[in-house]
Structure 1
Amino acid sequence: MTDLGLPAVPPRSDLSMGDGLAFAARGHHFTAAPGTDIQELAQRSTEPLSAILQVTKRCDFDCSFCSEVLQLPDPKLTQLETMRDHLKGTKRIFLSGGEPLMRRDFGEIVDMFADDNFVLAVPTNATHGLQHAKRIAGKVAFANIGLEGPRGITNRVRGDYDKVMPGVRALQDEGIPISLSAVVYRSTLAALPFTVQIADVLNAGKVKLIMPLRKGNALNLDANEFITDGEASEAFGRLGELRSTYQWSPALRLTTWTPENEGHMIVVEPTGKANAWPVYDSKDLFEPIGNVLEEPIQEIWKRYRFKENHYRKYLGASIRAIGHGGGGCAA
């Protein structure tokens, strides 16, 4: 669902993946050839487009929306090596957390996955960017930074703005492209233009807006903080108008929790347990589908019941999008 008529950063050359699919913007997001039948493509696929691998559950922030509050031991490098082998065929891997850069051996983990089999991305709060930027430069396609807006908003909702920004600059100094992700509350709606302005100053490829889910710390949020899909779409539309007026360059993305987006992510926990996420009628929003310490992703994919949702989301068919983006992923 792409809004037309607004300025867009020209797309970069694509890297073909076969079946009419490609990585665009040097591997930052997926595209499909015009007229591609996503349902048919999803049903005959043998592995996912993208997976999230939690290399730790630890984090140095305590975000008010965090869903991943259950702590588990970090997987050993030997276990991650097995997971890597079993994830081959997956086009993109997010090396995630918790806060993945808290692992002192994160550079070794990146080296382990940085080959022709995967495009790598890192969701991070960037507080440990200074320690890892040089080691991971040239090996990860982009870093996705969690930031809800100006200092006061980020400090209230997520963590310490003044710890985030030096890490962001360190990543950028090493040539690592960035994008921003912001979890949206009713009380942060007014901050969204400032978030996009910050992204524009940072030359971020996109700003991705996400609604909180009722799990973990978010169970303690006031019910008024959860906006409706309609309110989210209205706010997104206003933000698109401001993007046009002020000629902000980052692309904008909005994901809401509709039936089209249920279960679209595959999340692999530190134990190797693979889950569809978010599955709305599951107690913890996780639906177990296998374990990548024990079997390859192709076998797990056979049991995954959200194939079409997965493909539709990552090909941008079930999200709202403005602009192509220059340095981040579209989906």
Structure 2
Amino acid sequence: MTTTMRTFATRKHGNESVVHDPLTGLTHHAGLTLDSGRVRLPGTDVASWTEIHPAAVQTDVPISVCWSPLVRCNLTCPYCLDDKSILELGRAERYRIANLLAESTVLGVDISGGEPLLLRDLPELVDVLVAGGCAVSVTTNGTHLARRAEALATRVDAVRVSLDGPDAEHHDRWRGAGSFDHAIAGIRAAITQGIPTQIQAVLLRSTALAGIRAMVDLAATLGVSGVTFLQMLPIGEGTALAGTEQLTDDEALALLAELSTTAAVPVRLRTREAAGGFTVIRADGQIWRNQPSAHAISSLRALSTASDLALTTRDGSA
């Protein structure tokens, strides 16, 4: 069996190391000491190491963050988490944010949006983060991925493509006509360019029962590295759907229990509980953090220096 080497970011933690996986967004205890920074490791080895919640790691800054440098998007997903009322920073300010993240001890940065592939300078922003030792992923709706995969291939460590269904009939209902075919073309292009690629799907009550097995089968057919199902968060525009479309964590875990042992590709669930405490940097440069169980998100402060990423302020509050 061929061993697939991928790029991860590590940090020493006592006598062991913690490892951030840019493909899955998970944090692992290595059980041994590794060099800090960006390292190449067998993906199967990392997957076998103990998964831990980042909050369990004693650290001054988050293990990973989501950076949404733009609000603009070519699609209108009804459960979007972003606040579309905020103003986007300009090019110079985007580079300032990228450099602050690179200077920090954050291990992983997931560039999201809006739709990050609408940024012409996305490859250069990734370069800044990689030079600082971060493992970098891009979360995209995939519609522009086919034309940009080649430029990202030598830079980004992973791509996560969002799908709302295993076919055009189900996906395009939420994202618009033609969006499924564009996303699939993007996934194929990313895989051809050698970018570790995974599918992400938000669990909705109206689609979960019929679509999760077919989604995993599609992932296996495409040759992606796995599927992550995300619990819908009642944040942003998603608040309007929470009453009808939101599954409890227990319901979601029950739906995926069989898949976790029979799927042809790795399958995981990000529960709302697991999303609690996650740090988001929005397009206006403000730092936000999910409240426990991710039932809401709170604005903390502007990102002016790397120390602003601290998990607690001087008075001890988050």
Normalising by structure 2, we get a TM-score of 0.79
Match of 1:264 among 277, 285, 290: 277
SS class of match (2:194): coil
Which moves more between the two structures, 162-171 or 37-46?
37-46
Paired residue for 1:21? 17
Query: Structure 1's 26 and 185: CA in aligned 2 closer, same or farther, altered over 3 A?
Result: closer
Alignment map for 1:175-186 (pairs within 5 Å): 175-186=194-205
**Which secondary structure does the structure 2 equivalent of 1:144 belong to?**
strand
**CA deviation after TM superposition for structure 1 residue 263, in Å:** 3.2
**Aligned twin of 2:239:** 219
> Does 1:139 find its partner at 2:152?
no
Contact 2:65 / 2:110 at 8 angstroms: preserved in 1?
yes
| Change in 2 beyond 3 A, CA 1:47/1:69 | closer
SS for the counterpart of 1:303 is: coil
- For structure 1, which runs of at least 5 residues remain unmatched after alignment? 1-8, 308-331
Q: How many residues were matched structurally?
A: 289
Counterpart for residue 56 of structure 1? 70
Aligned to 1:150: 167
User: Pairwise mapping of residues 267-286 of structure 1 onto structure 2 (< 5 A)?
Assistant: 267-278=280-291, 285-286=296-297
Match of 2:267 among 252, 266, 269: 252
Identify the residue that residue 30 of structure 1 maps to in structure 2. Answer: 27
Assess, with a 3 A threshold, how the Cα gap between structure 1 residues 74 and 131 changes in structure 2: closer, same or farther: farther
Q: CA distance change for structure 1 residues 235 and 167 in 2, over 3 Å: closer, same or farther?
A: same
- The verdict on how the C-alpha distance between 1:24 and 1:265 changes in structure 2, with shifts beyond 3 A counting, is closer
Q: Return the alpha-carbon distance in structure 1 between the equivalents of residues 312 and 200 of structure 2.
A: 31
CA distance change for structure 1 residues 22 and 139 in 2, over 3 Å: closer, same or farther?
farther
Q: Which runs of 5 or more structure 2 residues have no equivalent in the other structure? A: 33-49
- Percent identical among aligned pairs is 23
Contact 1:93 1:121 in 2 (8 A): yes
1:97 paired with 2:113, answer yes
C-alpha distance in 2 between matches for 1:100 and 1:197: 27
Give the counterpart letter for 2:71 in structure 1. Answer: K
**TM superposition shift of 1:262:** 5.6
Q: CA deviation at 1:12?
A: 5.5
216-225 or 106-115, which moves further after superposition? 216-225
Q: In structure 1, what residue type is equivalent to 2:139?
A: P
Q: What residue is the counterpart of 2:35 in the other structure? A: none
Structure 1 269/104 Cα, relative in aligned 2: closer, same or farther at 3 Å?
same
1:122 to 138, 144, 164: 138
Question: Contact (CA 8 Å) 1:12, 1:26: kept in 2 or not?
Answer: no
